[in-house]
Structure 1
Amino acid sequence: MCAEMSDSQLFPSLNINLLQEPILQKVSGILDQTSDRGWKKLASVIASDRRFKLSSQEIHQCSLKVLDSEGSPTRSLLRLMGDRGCTTKELSEFLQSIGQSEAITILKPPGIKVTVQPGSMAVLSGHMVKLCCVASGHPVVNYQWFKMNKEVLHGNSSELVFNPVRVEDAGYYICRVNNGYSFNFSDWALLDVFESNLNCYGIPDNKLHIHTQPKPQKLITGDRLLLECIAIGKPLPTYQWYRNGLALQDETNKPYTVLSVSVEHRGVYHCKVTSGKESEDSIKVDVEVLGSGQYRKNFAVECTEEELTSVLEIDEKEEDTFFATDKVALLIGNMSYKNHTQLKAPMVDVYELTNLLRQLDFKVVSLLDLTELEMRNAVKEFLLLLDKGVYGLLYYAGHGYENYGNSFMVPIDAPKPYGSSNCMCVQSILKLMQEKETGLNVFLLDMCRKRNQYDDTIVIPDSLKVTANIVFGYATCQGAEAFEIQRSDLANGIFMKFLKKRLLEEKKITVLLDQVAEDMGRCQLTKGMQALEIRSSLSAKRALTDRIQQSACSLESSKSNLQWAKANELPESMCIEFECGVKIQLGFAAEFSNVLIIYTRIVEKPSDIINCNANITNFPLDLYVDPKEANKQTPEETGSFLVSKDLPKHCLYTRLSSLQTLKENLTFTVCLSYMYHGIEDILDEHKEIDVGRPLISKLDIHSGIQNPCSKSCLFPDSPCHVPEYFGATSHQRRYVQPPSYSQSMYFRVCPDSRLGYLPECSTSPNIPEENADEYSDFPSIM
């Protein structure tokens, strides 16, 4: 950055009539009293400038102001120049030419300084909370508060008041102050908000108080240790954990975790919390760590001799035959992220897995590019299908992360950075699936599993049941990334590349995944970077190929099955006849459950009609369709590469994606244009078409309904260290570069771009376009 700025950079292009009167009077006083560098010298310089056309008569009128008791020739001259559009920048140039540096100094915009910074704090919901920012340097100061990079509605005063404060108000805040000439920013302030409980009523707002105390633990070696201490107070509390009275180095987070404990971790733990000059110790808790032998001794299962004999007499030769009462699958592929790296593979992966699962008699709904609300509602519809003995499969491909053993799927509208409140916790979905007494729960997660450095929230879903019907197939190991393969315009994820080759095999699901893991292990391109991880509690030989043996189901389950089937229901093909005698066939195909292909073809026209064309247009406003990508000669031109071989030839094709956003019936207009032999005029006719609610639009997953994972998707605790913003994060799916010899298949590297955080001024509300450059200095949270 340059150490100095030129005078032209210091002066804003502001009409001099808009300057405050005290400034104009000071400039006038200097020029009125100076002869060689006074107002007459200034007037002669201005008169020689063609832009302002100052006449000798006007200069004479200005000189007559000396006859008034409080008259000022300079003030009259400046008023005259302001009326003709003279700016402070131009006036400073005129003053510079006559050597009037003293007047230039007065015109320089005053600086602005934040004298009172907003303070970070941790508070309870339901209280009134204020963030305060005070600036000096000018009589008039304007304030604008931001939460991250979003303006706060009505946040235009020095105090930002939350009355009452809510959990969703938690986050980082900053205040922008300006005085019409310059601007400045306050420090970032973190507002941490926790739900109130009965033990906290009557506590003063700013007093330090431990809201959540650590709890004693009894573990065996290899278990995860989790102790949590949460405090409220202003300034923001800091934490230090102790074991047996000794401070633990670098353990300064609200949670204290050890992923795999050993005997050396046993002891008495407590946390010291400090807020300003106040400090408070949490209660001291015992952490007992037992060896495996102790565990078997202390937690033995009692049984009689007869029961033990019956256990040992299991007939190993007997092979049970397993059935599913039904098979349902929800497949989600997120690619078109609004704030994060775009992906390619999920589209192909979801499409190919859909076709394979349908061959195994699964009822499949496949969806691309879902927002957080749409993902939650799609999962809710999926859960309605589950019942006793049903095989449920959830596949997700997209960005993701894993914190403290919980996996989170990232929707396309997730902010930057995102936390657990913006994503879906897979373990919470599993808990809801278990409540349905399902016969098999399969999760195939094709996403990265790196830790999210911006999210220190410890999500603890309700206890999972001890069941033997859970299988997790992770595309990569904990703490690692998942990769994509790119081949021309189509892409595969590494996981799906190997999974699709074995999915139809009649093998126990865990055996099948084991073989997929072995296949992936032989892939030289990702060796040492990606390896399939399998977690299973499956004790029976259940397979995806098991046959369906339907049983009596509830009325609600029957309704849900019918609704799920409608999510793949297409409009019927139709023939449209126009008054001129032309007939057009309208056909429909589904690429995914929320992607519809419409194709049109002229099937009959009178012999005297030439240059006949039929296009479709005027789609519902909530279903965005780019006219440039509609009515194409080939499906590939619309972006539809996967079903092109199955569509009829010689048609015009239009691809409608994101059908889940459709709030009403799908309507559009068929526009026919044609000419008759010997007539140069182009004629046209229109037909309005209503095809109802196709595919996923029937389920209304765009609407706001209760969050099925509300217990696991609370607003995240703020990071221990204030986050730095990057163009891409480490827990996003990645590309990898192959050896140069590969021609038919290649990998593409997409490195994390470490871009400084800048707000999108062009889309931020209430930011004047002429001031947009000022926002290029919006500070990063460092």
Structure 2
Amino acid sequence: MADSLDRSTNINLLKEPLVKKLCDVLDKSNHKGWRKLGEIVGNDKRFKVSSDDMEMCSLRVLEVEGSPSLMLLRLMGERGCTTNHLIDYLQSLGNSEALQCLKSPALQILIQPQSVALICGHNLRLSCHAVGKSPVQYQWFKSREEVPNSTSPDLVISPVHLKDAGFYICRVNSGDVCEFSQWAQVDVLNVGMSYGHSYHSLDGRVKLVMQPQFQRLHVGETLQLECGAVGRPIPRYQWHRNGVPIPNTTKRKLMIPHVMQEHHGRYRCEITSSTERMWTNEVDVVIAPRISVQITGAMECSEDDIYAIGEGSSDLFLNSIPEQLYATDKVALLIGNLSYQNHPQLKAPMVDVYDLTNILRQLNFKVVSLLDLTESEMRNAVDEFLLLLHKGVYGLLYYAGHGYENYGNSFMVPVDAPNPYRSANCLCVQSILKLMQEKETGLNVFLLDMCRKRNIHDDSTPNIVLRVTANIVFGYATCQDAEAFELSSTGFTNGVFVRFLKKRLLDDEKITVVLDRVAEDMGQFDATKGKQALEIRSSLSERRALTDPILPGDSVDLVHAQSHQWAKAHELPESMCLNFDCGAQIKLGFAAEFSNVLVIYTHIVKKPEDMSFCQAHVTDFSHDLDVDPKEMNRETPEETGIYLLSSSLPQHCLYTRLSSLQKLKEELVFTVCLQGTFAAMDDDHPIHWTKSINIGKPLIARLDLHRAMRRNSCLQTCLMPHSPSHSPCHSPGPEHHLHLYHGSHHSQDYNRLSPQHHYMDIYEHPHGAMGGFGVSYYDNLSQCGYEPAYDSGGVLGSPGRCSIPIEASDDINELQTVFINSLQLQPQ
């Protein structure tokens, strides 16, 4: 009895499901329930359960879901009662049902399959892991049909097709004992190449991959709107019209047959999961009446046929609908530089890039988000970005970090830029725009979160000739010859620009209207009023919006080839289970915080019964990644620097964060080390088992951005003919060394402009406090000479961890009953 429980364990440390089951039994029993148990314990002077204690327990019945048994067990636990004592008391009580709760189950399912929504063509993996006293056998079912060749703990369908959507369950056998897992629903979305093919791995977050489209119908026709999201657990849907929920519309597809005039309006869908909530674009549904017009009493024609009225008759004007504009694709490159080698360190770019990545993916942008790039890495990343641009594409480039502006040209500063830096060490934004224009893009958006002060060390005058096009929008975080700011505090939060930008970016408005509203919001922010103001430059003549739908153009094959290349930057390794000779099993999982930041976590799935201590950690990483061993294999994500993704990661693991994946030259090989001790061992010295793991090149590492020279497009364009120095990508000659030495004479002038000498304290009212813990705090507003004062962020709270529930809709419950009943009729 209680073989799986440590009899010396205090009963307050028992698992919650076990305690709940035990309390349910004791609460419902009249003669062998909690009152009789209290009398038995009261006679044992060790735990001193008095009549007053029993009265306090009885009052629990007056509370909603109150449990007298739970109160009694807590009192006993506080006074030192162990599992062994409790078993003795239950035996004296004679409650065999209560004792059964403490028995070791002959078969126990440890990992339940999770419902999931994913894109057609991706890989489906459902997992069910169990332990039993006898060898465990598995069999997967789809509805009531066995899935062929599915007798392992993991059901893998690669690639998944539309026909694979449905409900799945796993039957687990151990000897003569049989258990069924919970049901898992699989939703497969048929999403074309224009929608988010970057989602190659599900990291627990819900991602919007399909937006509803504008509809113009006649009375009596059928309205069909469709949206879709992928993730675990499977997302839930609720459609709204004109801001009001539509009853009984909780599916991905909204269908209204025989529409009437009253169905006219603006529609959008609310998508939720256990921890997240997002909205689709809001789209217009226009319901036009069927109009017939008689001319001279003889000819009748429908509204669709009318194109002109003869002379002498009145013109007929119908309500005109603005033409819907489309993008042939949407691509975004987000760069946040914060760990500078020769300049002040920043904090906010990491949070800004993370938040914008999630928002742009909801708008169906293919996004690559990168932190801390050197000059050559930035140039190569831009080259990869340019490869995806073709006619009609919406291209967006966001940069946060140090920067400057000379003679109307903006320069982004890499993390390895020397002090002082010049144009040859930086990337010119206007040069990149020139290359984008050659691709005949439909919309070019630049969001530059950096300072625009003049660089006194750079006298170059670039001669960049841009084409006259009507598709360019610049959103500068600050005005010309001014600084950009971030709020300085002890944690992380957004910079001033993104703080207001992220609240407006999903608006279904022309992009210049969106930025105008952001400018108005920033203008009301007391901390930077009069110091920083958003500046918008635009040559946009059409109503182009980031919410515009995607309609692939003629170059479909080219789009597919380029999308495949870009998708490489999002490929995560598959999670895996490692079996060690000692009988332990370790799950190794992966997640992406950014396109060049990988998270590895290890979890012990199974350990031998006689093993008293068991721990698994990762080690022996490539020197290219420069991983600090002290920050690896930590018990919480925050301890290893994973602040933004922590709520999406599984619990009870050891976590390691690998940044700067773009520097990885070879395949990523590392070691998983298992340490364990056995109860029979004389000493506590652990035994080691190791396994070497090769996960290839994950995420951005596949694009080899570390190479100094890959293409000449961005490099040649960014180099200016009158530049006073040469690019570090070339071998420096004597002249280059001379220029650097000359620059050092200005170091004292530069130091006088450093943030330490331009510092002000700004108090932000508590109701405006950002992020985190919801408490008021003093924000320090940093300013930096000709460089951006993009210093540090506010407080980033650790989001509360929520367990991910298994889907439990009425459909699943009904299917459960039908399925189990049908199996009882089948021969074993």
Relative to the length of structure 1, the TM-score reads 0.54
Matched, 1:473 2:460: no
SS of structure 2 residue aligned to 1:490:
coil
* Residue 729 (structure 1) shift: 8.0
Secondary structure of the 1:737 match is: strand
Structure of greater relative contact order (alpha carbons < 8 Å, 6+ residues apart): 2
> In 1, distance between residues paired with 2:755 and 2:534?
17
Map residues 347-746 of structure 1 onto 2, 5 A cutoff: 347-461=350-464, 463-486=465-488, 488-553=490-555, 555-679=557-681, 680=683, 681-704=685-708, 705-707=710-712, 708-714=714-720, 716-717=723-724, 723-725=746-748, 737-739=761-763, 742=766, 744-746=776-778
Query: How much does 1:738 deviate?
Result: 1.6
Q: Which amino acid aligns with 1:610?
A: S
Describe the superposition over 1:14-58 as per-residue Cα deviations: whole angstroms up to 9, x where unpaired: xxxxxxxxxxxxxxxxxxxxxxxxxxxxxxxxxxxxxxxxxxxxx
Contact 2:764 2:779 in 1 (8 A): no
Question: How does 1:49-68 map onto structure 2 within 5 Å?
Answer: none
User: Equivalents in 2 of 1:556, 1:677: separation in Å?
Assistant: 62
Corresponding residue for 2:331?
328
Structure 2, unmatched stretches of 5+, are: 1-317, 726-738, 767-774, 787-828
Count, aligned residues: 440
Quote the Cα distance in structure 2 between the aligned partners of 1:551 and 1:724. Answer: 53
Q: Deviations over 1:297-355 (max 9, x none)?
A: xxxxxxxxxxxxxxxxxx99662210000000000000000000000000000000000
* Contact 1:471-1:510 at 8 Å conserved across structures: yes
Residue 363 (structure 1) shift:
0.4
Aligned AA (2:718): S
Residue deviations 1:388-425 (CA, integer Å, cap 9, x gap):
00000000000000000000000000000000000000
**Pairwise CA distance, 1:625:** 0.6
Residues in 2 aligned to 1:372 and 1:591: alpha-carbon distance in whole angstroms = 22
Structure 1 distance, partners of 2:552, 2:328, is 5
Deviation at 1:490, TM superposition (A): 1.0
Distance 1:554 1:548, change over 3 A: closer
Give me the whole-angstrom Cα distance separating, in 2, the residues matched to 1:629 and 1:726.
37
- The SS at the match of 2:711 is coil
Distance 1:746 1:547, change over 3 A: farther
Q: TM-score, normalised by structure 2?
A: 0.51
Asked whether the equivalents of residues 329 and 363 of structure 1 are also in contact (C-alpha less than 8 Å), the reply is yes
Change (3 A) 1:493 1:729: farther
- Give yes or no for contact 1:440–1:542 (8 Å, CA) kept in 2: yes
State the distance in 2 between where 1:401 and 1:751 align: 14
Distance 1:641 1:627 in 2: 18
How far did residue 489 of structure 1 move?
1.5
Distance in 1, Cα, partners of 2:356 & 2:778: 22
2:602 is paired with a residue whose SS is strand
Secondary structure of the structure 2 residue equivalent to 1:534: strand
Q: Tell me the CA shift for residue 675 of structure 1.
A: 0.8
- Is the CA contact (8 Å cut-off) linking 2:473 and 2:512 kept in structure 1? yes
Give the secondary structure class of the aligned counterpart of 1:483: coil
Instruction: Decide whether the 8 Å contact of 2:333 with 2:369 is kept in 1.
Output: yes
Deviation (angstroms), 1:735: 7.4
Q: Which letter does structure 2 place at the counterpart of 1:712?
A: C
Q: Secondary structure at the match of 2:494?
A: strand
Q: Secondary structure at the match of 2:333?
A: strand
Question: How many angstroms does 1:569 deviate by?
Answer: 1.1
User: Amino acid of the residue matched to residue 702 of structure 2?
Assistant: K
Shift of 1:459: 1.2
Matches of residues 212-251 of structure 1 in structure 2 within 5 Å? none
Code of the residue aligned with 1:744 in structure 2: it is: S
Secondary structure at 2:466 match in 1: coil
Q: What CA deviation, in whole Å up to 9, does each residue of 1:595-619 have, x standing for no partner? A: 0000001010110111111110001
Q: Is the 8 A contact 1:400 1:731 kept in 2?
A: no
Give yes or no for contact 1:660–1:696 (8 Å, CA) kept in 2: yes
Letter in 2 for 1:331: L
- Distance across 2 between alignment mates of 1:753 and 1:387: 39
Q: Secondary structure at the match of 1:747?
A: strand
Are residues 703 and 604 of structure 1, via their aligned partners in 2, closer, same or farther at CA, if it must alter by over 3 Å?
same
User: Aligned letter for 1:412?
Assistant: V
SS at match of 1:622: helix
Q: What corresponds to 2:147 in structure 1?
A: none
Aligned mates of 1:402, 1:745 — CA distance in 2:
33
Matches of 1:387 and 1:727, distance apart in 2: 42
On the 8 A contact 1:334/1:399 being kept in 2, the answer is: yes
Which piece of structure 1 moves more, 369-378 or 737-746?
A: 737-746
Report how far residue 724 of structure 1 moved. 4.0
Q: Where does the alignment leave 5 or more consecutive residues of structure 1 unmatched?
A: 1-314, 755-782
Distance of 1:536 and 1:751 partners within structure 2: 28
Contact 1:443 1:472 in 2 (8 A): yes
Contact map agreement 1:459 1:712 (CA 8 A) in 2? no
2:779 maps to what in 1?
747
Contact 1:403 1:452 (8 Å CA) reproduced: yes
Whichever residue aligns with residue 336 of structure 2, its letter is G
Contact 1:400–1:408 (8 Å) recurs in 2: yes
Give distance in 1, aligned partners of 2:755 and 2:337.
Answer: 11
Deviation at 1:485, TM superposition (A): 2.3
Amino acid at match of 1:390: V
Shift of 1:513: 0.3
Q: Which amino acid aligns with 2:542?
A: A
Contact conserved, 1:451 with 1:479, CA < 8 A, in 2?
A: yes
Letter in 1 for 2:686: I
One-letter code aligned to 1:601: H
Q: Is the 8 A contact 1:482 1:530 kept in 2?
A: yes
Contact 1:325 1:388 in 2 (8 A): yes
How far apart, in 1, do the equivalents of 2:350 and 2:752 lie?
Answer: 21
Task: Say if 1:410 and 1:423, in contact at 8 Å, map to a contact too.
Answer: yes
- The structure that has the greater radius of gyration is 1
Which amino acid in the other structure matches residue 627 of structure 1? P
The residue correspondences of 1:72-87 to structure 2 (distance < 5 A) are none
Write the distance in 2 (CA, Å) between the matches of 1:391 and 1:753.
Answer: 34
Tell me how far 1:744 sits from its aligned partner: 2.8
Residue identity in the other structure for 2:716: S
Matching of residues 281-320 of structure 1 within 5 Å: 319-320=322-323
State the alpha-carbon separation in 2 of the partners of residues 389 and 752 from structure 1.
39
* C-alpha distance 752-487 of structure 1, shift in aligned 2 (>3 A): closer
In 2, Cα distance between equivalents of 1:552 and 1:607: 63
Asked if the contact 2:754/2:785 (under 8 Å) is kept, the reply is no
CA deviation vs aligned residue, 1:413-464 (integer Å, no higher than 9, x gap): 0000000000000000000000000000000000000000110111112x21
Instruction: Describe the superposition over 1:699-751 as per-residue Cα deviations: whole angstroms up to 9, x where unpaired.
Output: 11111223414233247338999634456585999976322755535422446
Q: 1:572 to 1:412 in 2, by over 3 A?
A: same
2:487 touches 2:781 (CA, 8 Å); kept in 1? Answer: no
Distance change (3 Å), C-alpha of 1:331 and 1:735: farther
Name the aligned partner's letter for residue 682 of structure 1: P
